[in-house]
Amino acid sequence: LPGSGTAAAQRTLNAAVPSAGTMFMQGFAVGSSRQISNLTGGRTTAFAAADQAFKRLDESTRSQYLLGYSSTNGDWNGAYRRITVKVNRKDAQVLYRHGYAARQEVKPLNRRDYLTYSRIASAANLPRAIDDLKMRVVKTTVESGPDGMRLSVDMRIGPGAVKFARQDGGYLAKVDALYFCADAKEQLVGENWQTLDFKLTEENYQKFMREGVGYTIYVPLKADAKYLKVILYDYGADLVGSAMVELKK
């Protein structure tokens, strides 16, 4: 298409094709749905034609059994208790609820906790870096700590990368973070989950918006590490940032 028609066609194409960020968030949503369905004995059908989805639903609901039992463990401490259901029919696929929280009263799902875990778990399984929340690994050093070897990680969060809430004359924000190390065979050899609590004055908030902020964390190591992956999640803005680093000896 010549002239302005070409530009119009390109704009139409750009609008029709989802961006990488949109596709990534769709992947998050599908991953969250699959986690819920797997834990509760269901199935998730995504990116499939409607007739295939309904056929799968019909096949999955033709043979159902209601099983119940009373636990002999009377300690209602809120701990997660796993359930396993086995059948003696060869090659049968059994869909069932995989566990429950030992509470006498059922409490509603904590949306923040679930969404945080879902976002971080999805980012951990993604083979590429995510730059929606701007961050970077500045320096890594293997050193001796009070409980053995550990990896010292110097981090930097970019200017304005975190969403703050104004409260009591200051600025508050929380960022959930996961740092984990793997060996040459990609086996986990160390991890550290933490929550970064930011409580800034007006002056420090303005400095953060201009320069960002740096900090240091430590990852305990059970063996030599070759890779480090860092994932940060800002629930307030629903943004994720991740980085993968190959460690140098």
pLDDT in tens, 144-182: 988 899 999 999 999 999 999 999 999 999 999 999 999
The H-assigned helical ranges of 41-144 are 50-60, 111-125
Q: Is the pLDDT of residue 192 over 70?
A: yes
pLDDT digits (tens, 9 = 90+) for 205-237: 999 999 999 999 999 999 999 999 999 999 999
The H-assigned helical ranges of the chain are 4-16, 20-40, 50-60, 111-125, 202-211
* Class of the CATH-defined domain 128-246: mainly beta
Task: Give the per-residue pLDDT at 25.
Answer: 45
Alpha-carbon span 220 to 139, nearest angstrom: 16
1-15, 44-58, 88-102, 222-236, range with the lowest pLDDT: 1-15
Alpha-carbon span 188 to 206, nearest angstrom: 39
Q: Is the pLDDT of residue 27 over 70?
A: no
Instruction: Classify residue 146 by its DSSP letter.
Output: T
What's this model's pTM, rounded to 2 decimal places? 0.64
- Domain locations along the chain: 16-107, 128-246
Q: Is the pLDDT of residue 38 over 90?
A: no
Where in 168-238 does DSSP place strands (E)? 170-182, 188-200, 213-220, 227-234
Task: Give the per-residue pLDDT at 3.
Answer: 42
User: Which residue did the predictor score with more confidence, 4 or 160?
Assistant: 160
Task: Give the per-residue pLDDT at 65.
Answer: 82
Mean pLDDT of 126-149: 93
